[in-house]
Amino acid sequence: MKKTPTRLADGRELVYYDVHDTAGRDAVDRRPLDAVATASEIRHDPLLDEWVAVTAHRQARTYHPPQNECPLCPSRNGRMTEVPAEDYQVAVFENRFPSLAGPPGPATAEDPGGLFPHAPGAGRCEVVCFTSDHDASFADLTDERAALVLDAWTDRTAELSALPGVRQVFCFENRGREIGVTLGHPHGQIYAYPFVTPRTERTLRSAAAHRERTGGNLFDDVVAAERAEGRRVVMDTDHWTAFVPHAARWPYEVHLYPRRRVPDLTELDDAARGEFPGVYLELLRRFDRIFGPDEPPTPYISGWHQAPLGPEGEKEWSGRADFALHLELFTIRRTSGKLKYLAGSESGMGVFINDVPPETAAERLREVASE
């Protein structure tokens, strides 16, 4: 892999990733851009013990531009975009409208009881362009190009984990207007959070309680139990296991684990890395076949759950020891032409109601396997 860092006209970092070392990446961003100004802060919810990001500047972000004005396409024919090169393989750059940006700062509270602390919305948000082809999707990539995306995710995880104040790195893709995607070009995002996310905090507590109760690792035991039970397993290869979880929240939801437990992408071994593109591309292609050939592409969210860092960025932190890297892939489409909306029970109380039994979802995902 060749990695070429450069800067955009407003100072944001852009990094090209190429399969071979022969790619030239010397194009200059000549747009007359002002420096990025953000107004992000995080506020603490005392009832839920969670942080919420407040980002007024994001109201002005680009929203469903026509294809000939796509900011993620290469710069061609005199039209400059976020990627100055005339072509690229994988490109990663700092988001122009980030939810989180800048160095960490202290939390303060102006109210007498100290119930409402807030702090700078520190961290970093990046955009990952999977391909220069506007009309493609991740599922259209070759194994070689998907491996390059994995290399980019891994490199960015290492780089962002080293930033001051970063506690957790989340690489994810939103695909489809139904999900809320505002740019049609195939891309994902990476968030570097200044706190451990609520989902991970709950998981860590469950893993610690399981260790105390049984002496075992919760992730290892769940994967082993799913493989032994078998009905919800979608794919089981030499180095990866994919299954619909026993208590899936979404109509079609798959969790993908490497056979050897590791805390994050930087610690995947070569065997798992080599097998990942074929496994992941097959899962994405099956998702597009769930509802039949006449349905539009399946909207989905896909994201890597990685172990958090310690309060001072430590990797040798007790919270990482029991964590297992895994990818979660799900769609909000519950059947042909119908979406799963998060209404009263889900949004109001956090209690999911799934219309598709996980065993049925797993059976369907096995039925639509590539020949």
| pLDDT tens digit sequence for 217-235 | 999 999 999 999 999 999 9
Task: Work out the angle between the directed axes of helices 143-161 and 270-287 (0-180°, nearest 10).
Answer: 110
CATH code, residues 2-196: 3.30.428.10
The per-residue pLDDT for 247 is 98
| DSSP assignment string, 213-265 | HHSS-HHHHHHHHHHHH-TTEEEE-SSEEEE--TT--SSEEEEEEESS--SSG
Please indicate if the annotation marks 171 as binding a ligand. no
CATH code, residues 199-367: 3.30.428.10
The per-residue pLDDT for 24 is 73
User: Could you give the C-alpha distances from 330 to 184, 244, 256, 268, 340, in angstroms and in order?
Assistant: 19, 10, 11, 23, 11
The per-residue pLDDT for 57 is 84
The per-residue pLDDT for 56 is 87
Separation CA 139–CA 287 (nearest Å): 10
Structure tokens, 233? 């397993």
pLDDT in tens, 265-299: 999 999 999 999 999 999 999 999 999 988 999 99
**Residues in CB range of 86: below 8 A, 6 or more apart:** 27, 74, 75, 76
Phi then psi for residue 235, to 5 deg, are: -145, 140
The per-residue pLDDT for 318 is 73
Confirm whether 187 is a catalytic residue.
yes
Q: Which residue has the tokens 């976020």?
A: 82
The per-residue pLDDT for 299 is 97
The per-residue pLDDT for 312 is 77
Structure tokens, 95? 């988001």
Residues of the chain short of pLDDT 50, as ranges, are none
The per-residue pLDDT for 63 is 82
Please indicate if the annotation marks 70 as binding a ligand. yes
Coil, helix or strand at residue 41: strand
Separation CA 247–CA 242 (nearest Å): 15
Give the domain ranges of the chain.
2-196, 199-367
Domain 2-196 and domain 199-367, same fold? Reply is yes
pTM across the whole model: 0.96
- Beta-bridged to residue 185, according to DSSP, are none
**Closest C-alpha to 152, from 136, 185, 124, 128:** 128
Q: Which of 20, 57, 187, 210 is catalytic?
A: 187
Which residue type occupies 69? E
**Ramachandran quadrant class, 102 (left: phi over 0; alpha: psi -120 to 50; beta: rest):** left
Please indicate if the annotation marks 118 as binding a ligand. no
